[in-house]
Amino acid sequence: MKAISPADQLFLWLEKRQQPMHVGGLLLFSFPEEAPDDYVAQLAGQLREERRVSQPFNQRLVTRFGQPYWDEDRHLDLEHHFRFEALPTPGRIRELLAFVSAEHGHLMDRQRPLWEFHLVEGLRDRQFAVYAKVHHSLVDGVSAMKMLQQMVSESPEERQQAPFWALPERRRRSTDQPRSSVVQAMGRLLGESGKQLGTIPTVARELMKTINEARKHPDYDSMFHAPQCLLNQTITGSRRFAAQSFSLTRIQALADTYHATVNDIVTAMSASALRTYLMNQDGLPDQSLIAMIPMSLHNRSGGGDAGNQVGMILASLGTHLADPVQRLGHIRESIQTAKDRYASMSSEEIINYTALTLAPAGFHLLTGMAPKWQTFNVVISNVPGPKQPGYWNGAKLEGMYPVSIAMDRMALNMTLTSYCDQVEFGLIGCRRTLPSLQRMLDHLEDGLAELEQAAGIQ
């Protein structure tokens, strides 16, 4: 039995009926060339036999003396966690996205280990999919995508590859990243790491202290002035998932042309898509939207550790600007300013700063009371992915899309990852608050095309 850390407890507390706190990933595969038509059913049969379930996937939530712990599930029911399912006719990507939308909206059973693995047949053109969901208290989004990647190999010849729940713990842990500073910041918000806080009022009090601290911060003015918009409403329990691949070659060409980074370009695509979507919904604010972007930072000040540091950037998206090139310039400058600010900070300072920035959102989430400040409007997260083609039991991985979390006052989450020559967007949102969210996919393509047109690339 192992006590649950305060940061992980937070994800359990935050969860409610209309706000499930699990992250997911969608992997799209094509059949191996020689595979028979019932290839996926055979694979399902093979997976059903994978009865080794390693940590943490054999751990369930138990409560002792009012405190939550992880404890081994001695009656683990693999049939509950591994599900073989199918798409209806005609088995297009559209049906797959509808499937993920419905599944991602369902709460998991708290009396069992908090993960599910859905193997999905019935896609046309000899393709199939895996949709996995894991509670955020078990792994964060980056680790979840890594976990799925570890299932695949660079060799198309390998067979009998285990699903993630059966991978030996050591193999998984060796590639685990330390928790990002976002998660460290959450821990900070909850007081000293390892301290069990017990109740939501205690946490809310801690958060309020942090918010009052923030008001003294020199950047206070810029930190808490995102406009209110459609994206920042109370959400409902139903989700819409939309996903699409874009060519990294096209994006890289634009980055070269505009002397920008790939991240600047995908942020500009997102900004353009948000602008068009909100205009069509008659709800574009006059002020620019602010995005929260977790980002790898080379910490040059030597504040203890010299490695990569994941920090949180608040970037202005320039959604008030009609011209796509002007908007890109605005975004690039805004991201650069934030990076420069971090460059002069120690790791410790970055964590503190992140904690300050997260506090108002956290306070709202826990108490339901809305502070006047809207720190940011949307999360745009970029999770690194593999550069080489991957195979799982001979089946080629064609694409992988992150499925993240929508929250009250943060009705849309845009997470992207890279795979070979693809940039993979996964959008998850509340389908009632954000009608026809799937149109954002076309708007993302338009956002790419308008920059190409302006640069004279067709």
User: Which amino acids are annotated catalytic?
Assistant: 136
Angle at which helix 248-257 crosses helix 440-454, to 10 degrees, equals: 40
Nearer Cβ to its own copies, position 89 or 160?
89
- Whose structure tokens read 């059973």? 109
- Whose structure tokens read 């003294």? 216
Does 341 interact with its own copies (rule: CB under 8 A)? no
Closest by CA position to 315, among listed 297, 341, 329, 335: 335
Nearer Cβ to its own copies, position 36 or 304?
36
Closest by CA position to 83, among listed 119, 113, 135: 119
Q: Which one of residues 48, 52, 106, 387 is an interface residue with its own copies (CB under 8 A)?
A: 106
Q: What are the CA-CA distances from residue 226 to residues 244, 340, 342, 376 (Å)? A: 28, 21, 20, 5
To its own copies, the closest distance from the beta carbon of 44 in angstroms equals 7
Q: Are 393 and 159 in contact (CB under 8 A)?
A: yes
Q: Can you tell me the distance from the alpha carbon of 10 to that of 366, in angstroms, rounded to the nearest whole number?
A: 9
Q: Which one of residues 40, 269, 355, 380 is an interface residue with its own copies (CB under 8 A)?
A: 40
State the DSSP H helix or E strand holding residue 455, giving kind and residue range, or none if neither.
none
Residues of this chain, 44-83, that bind its own copies according to CB under 8 A: 44, 75, 77, 79-80, 83
Nearer Cβ to its own copies, position 121 or 206?
121
To its own copies, the closest distance from the beta carbon of 132 in angstroms equals 16
Q: Are strands 67-72 and 2-3 parallel, antiparallel or unpaired?
A: antiparallel
To its own copies, the closest distance from the beta carbon of 105 in angstroms equals 7
DSSP tally for the chain: helices H, then strands E:
14, 15
Does 111 interact with its own copies (rule: CB under 8 A)? yes
Q: Which one of residues 238, 257, 261, 337 is an interface residue with its own copies (CB under 8 A)?
A: 238
Does 38 interact with its own copies (rule: CB under 8 A)? yes
H/E/C letters for each residue in 339-392? HHHHHCCCHHHHHHHHHHHHHHHHHHHHHCCCCCCECCCEEEEEECCCCCCCEE
The piece of 150-158, 221-229, 272-280, 427-435 that touches its own copies (CB under 8 A) is 427-435
Give the interface size with its own copies as a residue count (CB under 8 A): 35
Tell me the β-bridge partners of 297.
309
Strand order across the beta sheet in which 2-3 lies: 2-3, 67-72, 59-64
To its own copies, the closest distance from the beta carbon of 95 in angstroms equals 8
Does 279 interact with its own copies (rule: CB under 8 A)? no
To its own copies, the closest distance from the beta carbon of 302 in angstroms equals 48
| Amino acid symbol at 173 | R
Does 281 interact with its own copies (rule: CB under 8 A)? no
Q: Can you tell me the distance from the alpha carbon of 421 to that of 393, in angstroms, rounded to the nearest whole number?
A: 22
Q: Which one of residues 55, 228, 236, 337 is an interface residue with its own copies (CB under 8 A)?
A: 236
The piece of 110-118, 249-257, 370-378, 395-403 that touches its own copies (CB under 8 A) is 110-118
To its own copies, the closest distance from the beta carbon of 111 in angstroms equals 4
Tell me the β-bridge partners of 63.
68
Nearer Cβ to its own copies, position 107 or 454?
107
Nearer Cβ to its own copies, position 75 or 170?
75
DSSP code per residue over 283-339: ---SSPPEEEEEEEEE--S-SS--SEEEEEEEEE--TT---HHHHHHHHHHHHHHHH
String marking each residue 366-405 x if it binds its own copies according to CB under 8 A? ----------------------------------------
To its own copies, the closest distance from the beta carbon of 432 in angstroms equals 6
String marking each residue 77-96 x if it binds its own copies according to CB under 8 A? x-xx--xxxxxxxx------
Which residues are at the interface with its own copies (CB under 8 A)?
17-18, 38, 40-41, 44, 75, 77, 79-80, 83-90, 98, 102, 105-107, 109-112, 121-122, 236-238, 431-432, 435
